[in-house]
Amino acid sequence: MKILIVDDSSTMRRIIINTLSRIGYTDVVEGENGKSGLEKLGQGGVEMIITDWNMPEMDGLEFVKTVRGQNPAIPILMVTTNAAKEDIVEALQAGVNNYVVKPFTPETLKEKIESLLG
């Protein structure tokens, strides 16, 4: 399964990639903002997206809305520091399937990924 990780922090992308590899997902592509995420998505084969919210050029919310306009089915997990209730609801309304607030444990990321892939 190919997973797209979109985050402007290279440290955070590495942490997510490490967590994914520990739970058996090693096929990963990376984007550093919504714009490059869309480019990677356009190259095909992506079956799940993990995205940050606060990024330059195109933020995670705009990215999710654009993806949902093209692909209503792909599972999207938002991993962000935005913890306010209204932020979480806004992300869910935009089309995010589940939501993780940073900092997270690998167990939480695993739990959310497995529930999305159900």
Where does this chain bind another protein (CB under 8 A)? 7-12, 14-15, 18-19, 22, 53-57, 59, 80-85, 87-89, 92, 98-106, 108
Q: Which is nearer to another protein, 30 or 108 (CB)?
A: 108
Q: Which is nearer to another protein, 44 or 86 (CB)?
A: 86
Q: Least Å distance between CB 57 and another protein?
A: 7
Q: Least Å distance between CB 66 and another protein?
A: 15
Beta-carbon contacts of 31 under 8 Å, excluding residues fewer than 6 positions away, are 4, 5, 6, 37, 38, 39, 40, 41
Q: Least Å distance between CB 4 and another protein?
A: 18
Q: Which is nearer to another protein, 25 or 99 (CB)?
A: 99
For residue 3, which of 88, 106, 19, 102 has the smallest C-alpha distance? Answer: 19
Q: Which is nearer to another protein, 43 or 81 (CB)?
A: 81
Q: Quick one: which H or E segment has residue 112?
A: helix 106-117
Distance between CA atoms of residues 2 and 106, nearest Å: 19
Pairing status of strand 28-31 against strand 46-51:
unpaired
